[in-house]
Amino acid sequence: SDTILEVKNLKKHFPIKGGIFGKVVNSVKAVDGLNFEVKRGETLGLVGESGCGKSTTGRLLLRLLEATEGEVIFEGQNILDLDKKEMRDLRREMQMIFQDPYASLNPRMTVGEIIAEPMKIHGIGTPKDREKKVKDLLDRVGLQPNYAKRYPHEFSGGQRQRVGIARALAVDPKIIVCDEPVSALDVSVQAQVVNLMQDLQEELGLTYIFIAHDLSVVRHISDRVAVMYLGRMVELADKDELYNNPKHPYTKALLSAIPIPDPEKTREKIILEGDVPSPINPPSGCSFHTRCPFAKDRCKTEVPKFEEKVDGHFTACHYSDEI
Ligand code: SF4
Ligand code: MG
């Protein structure tokens, strides 16, 4: 079908223990009720300030973290219902590329061993087959096949991220969660890595969830973009619709911070006051009300529903039609 992944009421609350008995006294509402779909072959950008729950969401989608509540339906099956063995088999289809190409590669393993490891874990091929596949993958990500014998420390950040991409591709996944894959890299190599990822997506028919902390990074690569604030999604739309016609005040504020390439156009300026509140006791009602220049009394008590306002354009704001 058109939908590869469906997320329903997904939550992750981390308990906080306190007192001499170590009882659970509160919780960090890292992810607090997400509902969205991912279409086959698309790139869904997932954007928000640090602490908004975007990395936690990425991990929940692959079940690298256990959800507190909700469903993650991959190709019609709720993966949160699977047992360990079933989940291990399924993980072939769902891979992750991590933010830090320095920390995510084992320094004691050769690049060839690193890329072959997921195949070994899943029992794919003979050692000879895997050696051949490693060389193919290195070539695919723009590295020389003889790099397989070298160690991660011999490479630059951009090259290491290419190794991370090759490792994710080794088991022929359908969907890859990319957690800020270029934010640790020099600006000069960011575009190269993003372009490589786009080429691979086209060649291999991959679906990406691309996590980033600002809207400028995901603009180029995304088909649709979702904006998160304090564990919830506040807006989701086709890329151009979101950038040209944002409906949520938070999205408008994030866009205000990005320069507009076309000098003919102007954009409403919304400057955010204050910091993101703590996800331990997030503000009541609309959790953005403490920073929103349009907040009214109702916003303090009533949680706005995440609703489709026009075709494919979802937002969670009581007043998005008037603002
Ligand atoms: Fe602002 Fe109210 Fe809309 Fe929340 S619901 S974004 S506080 S206007
Ligand atoms: Mg993060």
Domains identified in the chain, total number: 1
Is the pLDDT at 90 greater than 70? The verdict is: yes
CATH code: domain of residue 163: 3.40.50.300
Q: Specify which residues 46 forms β-bridges with.
A: 211, 226
pLDDT at 132: 97
Ligand 1 centroid to residue 286 C-alpha, Å: 6
Segment 211-246, tens digit of pLDDT: 998 898 899 899 999 999 999 999 999 999 999 999
Residues 6+ apart with CB under 8 A from 65: 12, 56, 59
pLDDT band at 135 (very low <50, low <70, confident <90, very high): very high
User: Does residue 170 belong to any structural domain of this protein?
Assistant: yes
pLDDT at 248: 97
Is the pLDDT at 263 greater than 70? The verdict is: no
- Report the candidate in 312, 313, 306, 291 with the shortest Cα–Cα distance to residue 233: 306
pLDDT at 50: 86
Residue 258 contacts residue 244 (beta carbons within 8 Å): no
Q: Where are the alpha helices (DSSP H) in 72-121?
A: 84-90, 111-121
Segment 46-75, tens digit of pLDDT: 999 988 999 999 999 999 999 999 999 999
Is residue 247 lining ligand 1, measured as CB closer than 6 Å?
Answer: no
User: Does residue 264 belong to any structural domain of this protein?
Assistant: no
Is residue 317 lining ligand 1, measured as CB closer than 6 Å?
Answer: yes
State how far the Cα of 315 lies from the Cα of 48, in Å rounded to an integer.
Answer: 15
Is residue 112 lining ligand 1, measured as CB closer than 6 Å?
Answer: no
User: Which residue, by CA, sits nearest to atom 6 of ligand 1?
Assistant: 317
User: Does residue 272 belong to any structural domain of this protein?
Assistant: no
User: Does residue 258 belong to any structural domain of this protein?
Assistant: no
pLDDT band at 296 (very low <50, low <70, confident <90, very high): very high
Please report the ipTM that was assigned to this predicted complex. 0.95
The domain of 198 spans: 3-222
pLDDT at 210: 97
Candidate of 248, 289, 296, 303 to mutate for ligand 1, largest count of ligand atoms within 8 Å of Cβ: 289
Segment 178-202, tens digit of pLDDT: 999 998 898 889 999 999 999 999 9
Segment 91-117, tens digit of pLDDT: 999 999 998 878 889 999 999 999 999
Is residue 303 lining ligand 1, measured as CB closer than 6 Å?
Answer: no
Which residue is listed with tokens 């904006």? 227
